[in-house]
Amino acid sequence: MRKLLLPALAVLSFSLSCQSPCSQGACEVDQGAPPHAAMEDGISRPLAASADVLDIAQHHELPAAIVTDLPGVHNILNLSSNVVSGSEPENPEALKALADRGIKTLLSVDGKVPDAATAAKYGMRYVHIPIQYSGIDGPTMAEIAKTFRELEGPFFVHCFHGKHRGPAAAAVGRLVLDAIPRDQAIAEMHQWCGTSLKYQGLLETIAKDKVPGASETAKLDFDFPAAHAFDGFRGTMVPMARSWDEIKFARKRKWALNPEKPDIVPAQEALKLSEIFAQCLVQPDLPADTDEVRGWIKDGQKGTGDLARLLTNQTALEAKGVDWRMQAEDAYRLVSSSCKQCHLLYRD
Ligand code: HEC
């Protein structure tokens, strides 16, 4: 592994000397598997089927996490000189910042088609392999492993917020390139990157699933696509998540505009969301064709529609003595619970 580590170190300027846990004298982990770790095809063996991943993810001992940000990229963890995990780069400046720090390949596992053209302008290649919150299936695992083995590092791996799906894919990179043990990989996901224990499927995948060896991925016919577009129901979830994030931030600011993002108007985001919910309702591939599922979508549509009206008419409502803030809170809760209930049953 040293062979991989050293050249990468030279280019990864934001790396280990100041920010990584390695600076705290814990670098052994990056330099190959400890001698006791049982290996299979260069990958540490899966944990036993009975292993308690939630317990291991919380209690396997690691040095403290060092989380950093760059302009337009958040929750950055330098897992090793080969693999960096973080949030979706928000704009061209964010991509440039990653290129300036030596990243050569970007791997997005989010549903949104990434901006591969801008990345290419800065000399980076984008690969788009969307994964699910419930875990990584076998064929997708092979594609991700092949990407790490055959494309140039260092890799920046992201989903939307860089907390759950991205860190799971980054963990595949840690297994394949850095040969770390499985218990460490899931502990890094949870303790360093913030992967929630409620996404147990992602932790189970990294702890217990087979990661194909190099001879297997070499035979795989996969050309590292830069765009995997979704239509139908999942296609509606991608813009839904972005607009809902803006609503969440606006609520934290008590619905005041954000001076740093003057072009984002919460009332318009709410309106956009109610239109997305309307589209969602007519998709042929709903998670299930039941009244309950339709009910959640209608709740989302109603809540965001109410929110749009309340936010648009704040001044008039206040003049009439209407407590629009309380009503906005009710509308927000209705939408939030519709996302959560449906995800709990059909996504996670
Ligand atoms: C009626 C059910 C339902 C509702 C309501 C719903 N979702 Fe989803 N969502 C899903 C399912 C199912 C998936 C997984 C789709 C797949 O993997 O094919 C998903 C996927 C997602 C994803 C992952 C998209 C990607 O990158 O692949 C995000 C983010 C998301 N939803 C956000 C939201 C937000 C935010 C809300 C509420 C404002 C919401 N969803 C409301 C069912 C729902």
Q: Please provide the DSSP assignment of 51-111 as one string.
A: --HHHHHHHS--PPP--EEETTEEEEEE-SSSEEEEPPP-SHHHHHHHHHTT--EEEE-SS
Average pLDDT over residues 125-145: 98
Whether residue 244 contacts residue 129, with contact meaning beta carbons closer than 8 Å, is answered with no
Q: What's the rounded mean pLDDT across residues 139-159?
A: 98
* Ligand 1 touching residue 303 (CB < 6 A): no
Distance 281 CA to ligand 1 centre (A): 13
Could you count the other beta carbons within 10 Å of the beta carbon of residue 344?
Answer: 10
Is residue 197 within 8 Å of residue 180, measured between CB atoms? no
Q: Which atom of ligand 1 is nearest to the CA of 159?
A: 26
Is 144 near ligand 1, meaning CB less than 6 Å away? Answer: no
Distance of alpha carbon 51 from alpha carbon 44, whole angstroms? 15
How far is Cα 249 from Cα 258, in angstroms, rounded to an integer?
9
Reported as a pLDDT band with limits 50, 70 and 90, residue 10 is very low
Residues 283-328 pLDDT 10s = 999 999 999 999 999 999 999 999 999 999 999 999 999 999 999 9
Instruction: Kindly tell me the burial class for residue 40, based on how many C-beta atoms sit within 10 Å of its own C-beta (0-12, 13-18, 19 or more).
Output: exposed
- Which one-letter amino acid corresponds to residue 268? Q
What is the amino acid identity at position 229?
A
Q: Distance of alpha carbon 145 from its chain centroid, rounded? A: 17
Q: At what angle do helices 266-281 and 232-252 cross, to 10 degrees?
A: 160
Identify the bridge partners of residue 125 per DSSP, sorted by sequence position. Answer: 105
Counting DSSP H helices and E strands in the chain, the numbers are 14, 8
Q: Which atom of ligand 1 is nearest to the CA of 132?
A: 17
Q: Averaged over 265-279, what is the pLDDT?
A: 97
Whether the pLDDT of residue 157 is over 70: the answer is: yes
pLDDT for residue 29: 43
Retrieve residue 98's tokens.
Answer: 């990653």
pTM of the model: 0.88
Rounded CA-CA distance 2/178 in Å is: 9
Give the Å distances, CA to CA, from 159 to 76, 78, 162, 193, 250: 12, 16, 5, 12, 22
Residue 322 Cβ inside 6 Å of ligand 1? The answer reads no
Residue 8: is its pLDDT beyond 60?
Answer: no
* pLDDT per position as a tens digit, 61-96: 999 999 999 999 999 999 999 999 999 999 999 999
Nearest to 303 by CA among 323, 342, 273: 273
7 or 346, which is more confident: 346
Cα–ligand 1 centroid distance for 347 (angstroms): 7
Query: Would you place residue 34 in the very low, low, confident or very high pLDDT band (cuts 50, 70, 90)?
Result: low
Compute the distance between CA of residue 104 and CA of residue 11 in angstroms, rounded to an integer: 10
